[in-house]
Amino acid sequence: MEEVGMRYFKTAEGALVAKIWFGPSAEGAPGRAHGGALLTVLDEAMGAAAWVAGIPVLTARLETAFRRGVPLAVELLAETKLLQTGGRTLRIEGSITDRAGTLYAQANGVFARLTAGQVKTIFSRVTPA
């Protein structure tokens, strides 16, 4: 198993879901994933949900509530939902649960919509591998 992993899927309703797992390099408290790793996964999944919907964004604000410790080497789900997409900012929520529906963390974020010029500037700095 990889150290930290995400694999994305779209639901029939068009929402973005990721299967996620945390290995030993993501350990915070003994046997548990570090909160920063959880926050990073939520930020990534929530931003990706907007990009997949055709709305390029950057994170402006992210509030996270940690509900319980996440065990290492367990497959979890990061689920996202676009709540408000009009205007200059988007509101997106995300959560991390296990197969039984146990809630480990949830987040609410505000994401700034990028203009076509900003996207071009960002990607002009990227060199293909």
Residue ranges for the chain with pLDDT beneath 50 = 1
Under CATH, domain 4-124 is a member of which superfamily? Hotdog Thioesterase (3.10.129.10)
Contact assessment for residue 33 and residue 73, using Cβ atoms and an 8 Å cutoff: no
Tokens of 5: 């992993």
Integer Cα distance of 84 and 71 in angstroms: 32
Give the active site residue among 16, 38, 43, 45.
43
Determine the Cα–Cα distance for residues 9 and 116; give it in Å rounded to an integer: 26
C-alpha to C-alpha distance for 30 and 13, rounded to whole angstroms: 38
pLDDT digits (tens, 9 = 90+) for 17-54: 999 999 999 999 999 999 999 999 999 999 999 999 99
Beta strands, E only, the chain: 4-10, 16-22, 57-66, 76-84, 89-97, 103-113
If one counts every other C-beta atom within 10 angstroms of the C-beta of residue 107, the result is 23
Task: Quote the pLDDT of residue 33.
Answer: 96
Distances (CA, A) of 71 to 27, 30, 88: 9, 9, 37
Q: φ, ψ for residue 124 (rounded to 5)?
A: -70, -20
Residue 98 is among the residues annotated as catalytic for this protein: no
Check residue 2 and give its pLDDT: 57
Domain ranges across the chain = 4-124
